[in-house]
Amino acid sequence: MRHFTLTILLVAALLAASPAFAEEAKQEVGIEERLGEILPLEEFEFTDEDGNPIILGDLFDGQIPVVLTLVYYSCPGICTPLLNELAYNIERCDLAPGEDFQLVTISFNPADTAELARLKRINMLDTIEANKPKLEDWRFLVGDQENIDKITQAVGFHYVPDENGVDFVHAASVMFISPEGKISRYLNTLQFNPADLELAVIDASLGRARSFMQRIERLCYSFDPEGRAYVLKVNRIILGITLVFVLFFVFFLVFRKPVSKPAEPQSEGNAS
């Protein structure tokens, strides 16, 4: 009986502890969105593509938002596809880099060099034909572990070293920072579209969340990955119209005035 009780207690302890372990593991890798927080831009010190020291705040002119990506330049996984997706949408969006937004990519691998950053920028700009950013419009930075920790913690970017001791396990995210340094939006995906990019840039430029009408628009449309375009969701529109009619009908039944019956005429025999 005593062994049975100990077993039960052990199982209960493991079950109680497992959510904590799961939550801790979940926080090790992923994106913890810090929407609305202000980044201390003057505290982040990095090195640019030419090997010169640079303060992150120097890349914010106070006029246009910054599209921020955290990658590492020797990544064999999702970093290059994320940057390729960003380049693909820059080429097709209606906003102009350098005029409507600035691009900043920072490596979170302290082993990456300024030379790698320079080559990565050249490779990414070569993939863009239309709406091509100038060199100063898309900056690629490297830094030491201290400043890498500062920026990744500030934006909620959690990653861990891979078992091979060379690479990293991490998520993919495009972050949108207002001209004043406020975190405005995250696109935590490897596949988005020009409309997503444009809306996020506009929101970041104003330092606000998506408007009501934009939320309605996203309810009526969904993104088709194969066609890489928004598709009208007719079923959602029909459902919305149906709900409106149902609510109107319920409102009519509840609040309508009862119809009064006309008074019955008295018979002549009962007249006084």
| pLDDT 10s digits, 138-174 | 999 999 999 999 999 999 999 999 998 889 999 999 9
Distance of CA 97 to the CA centre of its chain: 19
**pTM exceeds 0.85:** no
Structure tokens at 12: 């209960």
Residues with pLDDT less than 50, the chain: 1-26, 209-214, 223, 225-230, 271-272
Cα 106 from Cα 193, distance rounded (Å):
22
How does pLDDT run across 91-113, given as a tens digit for each residue? 999 999 999 999 999 999 999 99
- Scored b (16 or more CB within 10 A) or e, 142-153 reads bbeeebbebbbe
Pick the CATH number of 28-209 from 3.30.460.10, 3.40.30.10, 3.40.50.800, 1.10.1060.10: 3.40.30.10
- Give the separation between CA 203 and CA 206, rounded to whole angstroms: 5
* CB atoms inside a 10 Å sphere around CB 76: 9
* Domain extents in the chain: 28-209, 211-252
- CA dist 132 and 1 (Å) reads 75
Summary count for the chain: helices (H), strands (E): 7, 13
Q: Give dist(CA 76, CA 57) in Å, integer.
A: 30
Residue 266 in tokens: 């008295």
Q: Where are the alpha helices (DSSP H) in 29-129?
A: 79-92, 114-126
